[in-house]
């Protein structure tokens, strides 16, 4: 008998998989590294509030049971907080999980997803996984979403549009008036997703967008193609538990439930989010502090000659062009992780005061190096 594992074994046939996935970027996240200042993933630098940690401890004994797939308790709390019916809310494994579900319910193969670019780096992969075609609309010279250009780019094949505000990675925000004008130009059969993962950090912006308030108003007017996303990952410090939520018309929420992975939002995530909602004053104070730190860091970078647009998020964008990778490498040498977008810029999360000071020192040293100066000057014009 021939040894099936021997040299005479015929080559194994490859399983039939989708060839169109070959070009999709692989999201790797951050490799575990000890002793580094982590300013690359837009996380909160603070552990969850004590009440949230206590809720997690109390929930551990029930982990032998499946979570509540309807997340009834948390959904009821969110519905009360936002003044909407529970049937209009959907929960998912982070807001990014809900982005994937929204694409699934809106797009078949060949349909178009319209996105600003640069924006959240996962949008193209999520659309490509569904077989949809991604159309990118460039940002303005000020690194903001160009909503008029996005409206003009909608075709009869467009099924979904992402409006990320504050925009990741540039931090720029759109106003409510701008979004209302945009929605007036969007056909009612195109789904518009207001992705507000960083809404709690906008501060005192003039005419700020509140996507949840806008969706409520749209629903009262009978318009059902606008949805808003929020997350517990950023302001609430629950990035490790993966829980986000979506406000939409109830028929849209029902479809989201149909394509959801069963039990995707775990028991610990539900309990932690419910407890976090009870810590709203503490969360608001944390956000206020991070906004103050963000403005302090931006002012220092501007004083050093860096081009840094106004941010409404918990991070800052340095449009460094070809200097992006050298700057990130320089920071890594100083034990600081930042997020480089090749040939475009560097995104820096706001950390603790000490972490921010370490980054400012590294950025200042980079700006003073003779090797970096001509590259940086070309990048900044």
Looking at residue 18, what is its pLDDT?
87
Quote the pLDDT of residue 377. Answer: 42
Sketch the domain layout of the chain as residue ranges.
29-46+281-380, 50-277
CA-based nearest residue to 29, from 330, 339, 303, 249: 339
pLDDT at position 378: 41
Predicted confidence at residue 199, as pLDDT, reads 97
Enumerate residues 6+ apart whose C-beta is below 8 A from 216: 82, 83, 84, 247
Domain 29-46+281-380 matches domain 50-277 at the CATH topology level:
no
Note the pLDDT of residue 218.
Answer: 96
Q: Pick 29-46+281-380's CATH classification: 3.40.50.970, 2.40.480.10, 3.30.70.60, 3.90.1150.10.
A: 3.90.1150.10
b/e for 211-243, b at 16 or more Cβ within 10 A? bbebbbebbeeeebbbbbbbbbbbbbbbbebbb
Pick the CATH number of 50-277 from 3.10.450.50, 3.40.640.10, 3.40.50.2020, 3.30.230.10: 3.40.640.10
pTM: 0.92
Phi, psi torsion values for 144, nearest 5 degrees: -110, 165
pLDDT value at position 205?
75
**How far apart are the C-alpha atoms of 193 and 227, rounded to whole Å?**
5
Tens digit of each residue's pLDDT, the chain (381 residues): 555 556 677 667 778 888 888 878 777 776 667 789 999 999 999 999 999 999 999 999 999 999 999 999 999 999 999 999 999 999 999 999 999 999 999 999 999 999 999 999 999 999 999 999 999 999 999 999 999 999 999 999 999 999 999 999 999 999 999 999 999 999 999 999 999 999 999 977 778 999 999 999 999 999 999 999 999 999 999 999 999 999 999 999 999 999 999 999 999 999 999 999 999 999 999 999 999 999 999 999 999 999 999 999 999 999 999 999 999 999 999 999 999 999 999 999 999 999 999 999 999 999 766 344 444 444 444
């Amino acid at each position: 008998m021939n040894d099936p594992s021997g040299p005479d074994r015929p080559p194994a046939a490859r399983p039939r998989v989708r060839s169109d996935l070959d070009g999709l970027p692989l999201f790797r996240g951050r490799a575990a590294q000890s002793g580094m200042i982590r300013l690359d993933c837009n996380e909160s630098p603070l552990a969850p509030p004590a009440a949230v940690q206590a809720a997690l401890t109390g929930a551990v004994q029930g982990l032998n049971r499946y979570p509540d797939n309807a997340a009834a308790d948390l959904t009821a709390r969110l519905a009360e907080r936002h003044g909407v019916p529970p049937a209009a809310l959907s929960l998912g494994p982070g807001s990014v999980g809900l982005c994937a579900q929204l694409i699934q319910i809106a797009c078949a193969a060949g349909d178009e997803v319209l996105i600003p670019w640069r924006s959240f780096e996962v949008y193209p992969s999520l659309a490509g996984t569904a077989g949809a075609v991604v159309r990118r609309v460039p940002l303005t010279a000020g690194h903001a979403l160009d909503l008029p250009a996005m409206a003009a780019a909608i075709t009869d094949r467009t099924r979904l549009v992402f409006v990320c505000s504050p925009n990741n990675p540039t931090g720029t925000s759109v106003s409510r008036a701008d979004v209302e004008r945009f929605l007036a130009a969007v056909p009612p059969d195109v789904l518009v997703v207001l992705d507000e993962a960083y809404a709690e950090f906008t501060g005192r912006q003039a005419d700020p967008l509140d996507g949840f308030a806008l969706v409520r108003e749209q629903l009262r007017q009978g318009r059902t193609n606008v949805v808003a996303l929020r997350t517990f990952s950023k302001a609430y410090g629950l990035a490790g538990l993966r829980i986000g939520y979506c406000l939409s018309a109830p028929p849209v929420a029902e479809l989201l439930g149909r394509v959801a992975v069963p039990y995707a939002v775990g028991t610990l995530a539900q309990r932690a989010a419910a407890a976090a909602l009870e810590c709203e004053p503490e969360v608001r104070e944390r956000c206020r502090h991070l906004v103050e730190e963000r403005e302090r860091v931006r002012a220092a970078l501007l004083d050093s000659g860096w081009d840094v647009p106004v941010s409404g998020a918990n991070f800052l964008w340095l449009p460094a062009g070809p200097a992006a990778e050298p700057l990130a490498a320089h920071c890594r040498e100083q034990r600081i992780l930042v997020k480089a977008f090749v040939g475009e810029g560097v995104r820096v999360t706001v950390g603790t005061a000490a972490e921010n000071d370490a980054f400012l020192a590294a950025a200042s040293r980079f700006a003073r190096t003779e090797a970096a100066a001509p590259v940086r000057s070309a990048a900044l014009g």
